[in-house]
Homo-oligomer: A and B are copies of this chain.
Amino acid sequence: MSVSAQTGPSTRTGPTSGQRGGYAKGRATQQEIIRTAILVFADVGFHGASLRDIAARVGISHPGLLHHFPNKAALLEAVLEYRDAVDEQSFQEDLERGSDYFEAMLHLVERNRLRRPLVELFAGLSTEATSPDHPAHEYFRRRYQRVLDEQSRLLRERAVRGGLAPGVDPDQAARTVVALMDGLQVQWLLSLDRPAAERVDMAADLRGYLDLILR
A123-B131 in contact (CB<8A):
no
Task: Give the contacts of A100-140 with B (CB-CB under 8 A).
Answer: 120, 123-124, 126-128, 130-132, 140
B187-A178 in contact (CB<8A):
yes
CA of A120 to CA of B208, assembled, Å: 28
Given contacts A172-B205, A179-B183, A205-B172, are A131 and B127 in contact (CB under 8 A)? no
A172-B208 in contact (CB<8A):
yes
Contact of A47 among B47, B140, B165, B175 (CB under 8 A): B47
Q: Which residues of B contact A213 (CB under 8 A)?
A: 212
Main secondary structure of the interface of A (DSSP, over half): helix
Task: Give the contacts of A168-215 with B (CB-CB under 8 A).
Answer: 168-169, 172-173, 175-176, 178-184, 186-187, 189-190, 193, 200, 204-205, 208-209, 211-213
Residue of B nearest to A171 (CB): B205
Q: Which residues of B contact A173 (CB under 8 A)?
A: 208
Cβ of A48 within 8 Å of any chain B Cβ, yes or no, is yes
Q: Mark A30-43, 1 if CB is under 8 A from B, else 0.
A: 00000000000011
A185 CB to closest chain B CB (Å) equals: 8
Cβ of A73 within 8 Å of any chain B Cβ, yes or no, is no
Contact of A190 among B48, B140, B205 (CB under 8 A): B140
Q: Which residues of B contact A204 (CB under 8 A)?
A: 172
Cβ of A22 within 8 Å of any chain B Cβ, yes or no, is no
Cβ of A44 within 8 Å of any chain B Cβ, yes or no, is yes
Cβ of A67 within 8 Å of any chain B Cβ, yes or no, is no
B126-A120 in contact (CB<8A):
no
A190-B123 in contact (CB<8A):
no
A61 CB to closest chain B CB (Å) equals: 23
Apart from A124-B127, A172-B205, A176-B205: 6 A-B pairs, beta carbons within 8 A: A45-B48, A48-B48, A126-B186, A140-B190, A172-B204, A179-B186
